[in-house]
């Protein structure tokens, strides 16, 4: 049996393959919790990853996420990682100048944003960072708006990704195969209470080890166990 590679994407895609019909997450819609199976979660991540690659995202590129908690946050994160890129989380209540600094400092080439209003807050700090080439909106609004950046809806990115993967068979599998435990997975910035925010560079193996420790000490053993994600 092939050993599990200690990367976040290897763990994720193995789970998608092993238990496709089992519930992966529950997210609240109105008063109900709606289940999403592993197979569906895999499909959503696959198309988004294909969309990122169609936009020219390469291994090691930085892509930010600027949004409150929602399923799309997780899907975007896994799509970024699956394309070999690096996730840069930005707290949604950060001041515009801090958002601008984090995008500039991390050299992010793209950003997933909750909505157009959230994205426009960046303009308060001046022009967008030069390296920023595209933005994807979770709320599915599309178009160019008044922003000097390529603007995509989540749905359009997914459809572009589906077409890209169909015309480039094997490209996602190749990207996944080249992701190693020592590769950078995310840059988490401090609050900046002692000056400018500083980026903590976390490797795949760092987060893998943390998840492994949580699993051991919290003793997730039963199939019916549910973890509640807050923030």
Q: pLDDT tens digits, residue range 195-206?
A: 888 999 999 999
151: left (phi over 0), alpha (psi -120 to 50) or beta: beta
Average pLDDT score over residue span 154-176: 97
Average pLDDT score over residue span 200-226: 84
124: left (phi over 0), alpha (psi -120 to 50) or beta: alpha
**d(Cα 144, Cα 66) in Å, to the nearest integer?**
18
**d(Cα 205, Cα 141) in Å, to the nearest integer?**
36
Residue 141 has what pLDDT? 59
Q: Residue 175 in contact with residue 83, Cβ under 8 Å?
A: yes
User: Regarding predicted confidence, which is higher, 27 or 161?
Assistant: 161
Kindly indicate the confidence band of residue 1, based on its pLDDT and cuts at 50, 70 and 90: very low
User: Regarding predicted confidence, which is higher, 212 or 231?
Assistant: 212
Average pLDDT score over residue span 135-143: 76
Residue 148 has what pLDDT? 72
Among the residue ranges 93-97, 172-176, 193-197, 219-223, the one predicted with the least confidence is 219-223
Quote the mean pLDDT of the chain: 90
**d(Cα 132, Cα 107) in Å, to the nearest integer?**
8
Q: Which residues pair with 62 in a beta bridge?
A: 86, 108
DSSP state letters, 111-162 = EEES-HHHHHGGGGGSSPPTT--EEEETT---S-TT-SSEEEEHHHHHHHHH
Using only C-alpha atoms, the chain has a radius of gyration, in whole angstroms, of 18
pLDDT over 70, % of the chain = 93
Q: pLDDT tens digits, residue range 118-131?
A: 888 887 767 788 89
Q: Say whether pLDDT at 102 is over 90.
A: yes
């Amino acid at each position: 049996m092939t050993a599990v590679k200690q990367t976040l994407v290897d763990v994720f895609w193995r789970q998608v393959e092993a238990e496709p019909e089992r519930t992966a997450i529950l997210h609240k819609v109105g008063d109900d919790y709606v289940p999403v199976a592993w197979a569906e979660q895999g499909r959503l991540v696959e198309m988004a990853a294909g969309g990122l690659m169609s936009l020219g995202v390469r291994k090691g590129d930085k892509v930010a996420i600027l949004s409150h908690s929602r399923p799309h946050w997780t899907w975007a994160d896994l799509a970024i990682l699956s394309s070999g890129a690096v996730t840069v989380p930005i707290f949604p209540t950060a001041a515009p100048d801090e958002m601008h600094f984090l995008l500039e400092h991390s050299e992010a080439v793209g950003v997933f944003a909750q909505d157009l209003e959230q994205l426009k807050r960046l303009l308060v700090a001046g022009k967008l960072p030069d390296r920023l080439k595209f933005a994807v909106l979770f709320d599915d609004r599309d178009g160019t708006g008044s922003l000097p950046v390529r603007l995509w809806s989540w749905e359009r990115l997914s459809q572009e990704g589906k077409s890209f993967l169909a015309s480039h068979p094997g490209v996602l599998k190749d990207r996944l195969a080249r992701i190693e435990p020592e590769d950078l997975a995310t840059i988490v910035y401090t609050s900046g209470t002692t000056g400018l925010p500083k980026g903590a560079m976390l490797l795949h193996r760092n987060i893998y080890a943390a998840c492994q420790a949580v699993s051991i000490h919290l003793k997730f053993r039963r199939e019916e166990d549910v973890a509640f994600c807050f923030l």
